Amino acid sequence: MPELHDVEGFCAIAAKHALQQNIQQVQVEKERVLEGLSAAVLGRKLHNHTFTDAHRHGKLLFLRTGREGWLFLHFGMTGSLEMRDKQDAIPDHTCIHFQFKNGGGLCYLSQRLLGKVGWCDDLDAFLAEAEIGPDLLADDLTGDDFVRGLSEKHGMLKPALMDQSLFAGIGNVLSDEILFQTRLPPDTEIADLKENTLRDLFGPARRICRTLARAHRAQRDIPKHYLLAHRHKDGSCPRCHQKLSHKKVAGRTSYFCSSCQSA
């Protein structure tokens, strides 16, 4: 689930419900998801503190704690973030439960345990160390940056779009959507594209991310004319209604319309 737009939704949940709440207890149900610190240390860092800011960068969510640092949450393939009301039970697959003084709580879920939760003192240093590039929706990211980044890569376009060190936030689903809306086949080689074609990806890519991020933030449905709304076996192209094709590209199942997306 968690690509840029999904994490934007989690970020909205955290921003709306979890900020300024006194953290009474941190229950770590699955210590495996912790990276670089123990449950005890995490508990000590957060006990009696509050989250003061929620920030998304690519597929990562950062929750600031006072001036002392940031908790980072990576969701892997199946992670999510849910608020728990006072009277509610802790949901299945909860790995970490941040329990607030008011009785409610914030739950980090990861069914397949492929996500990671950890701590960093400096957000920018952390991103640099992890070699995570600028967020695709960053205000200061330009079309020139985008074209330069992609044209320095070799091979297929799809894995380049998904390369978090280039631009952060695009995963398998978003890359399929971008390719669909720009009518490029999923196995397109970067070398076969003109610079203008690369440039023409920038606007749609950002628009798609922004639209889906807004939808997730507001818990609205995704637009019906998006591939994403039809992206499954048996799904049909929302443009020409032909049955969608799928094949492995760069190791990931890619959905596309063989009629609308042709070289």
Q: Which residues bind DNA (CB under 7 A)?
A: 1-3, 5-6, 32, 58-59, 74, 76-77, 93, 111-114, 130, 153-156, 159, 162, 164, 171-173, 189, 248-253
**CB neighbour list of residue 66: distance below 8 Å, 6 or more residues apart:** 49, 50, 52
Contact 240, 169 (CB under 8 A): no
Measured CA to CA, the distance from residue 223 to residue 204 in angstroms comes to 14
Q: Which is nearer to DNA, 11 or 162 (CB)?
A: 162
Residue 231 CB, nearest approach to DNA (Å) = 8
d(CA 103, CA 68): 25
Pairwise CA distance, residues 196 & 68, whole Å: 45
Closest CB to DNA among residues 36, 66: 36
Assign residue 43 a region (left: φ > 0; alpha: ψ between -120 and 50; beta: otherwise). alpha
CB 122 to DNA: min, Å? 19
Closer to DNA by Cβ: residue 32 or 44: 32
State the nearest-atom distance from the C-beta of 125 to DNA, in Å: 16
Of 23 and 134, the one with the shorter C-beta distance to DNA is 134
Give the nearer residue to DNA in terms of CB position, either 3 or 23.
Answer: 3
Q: From the CB of 229, what's the least distance to DNA, in Å?
A: 11
Give me the least distance between CB of 166 and DNA, in Å please. 10
Nearer to DNA, 68 or 129 (CB): 129
**Least distance between DNA and beta carbon 46 (Å):** 24
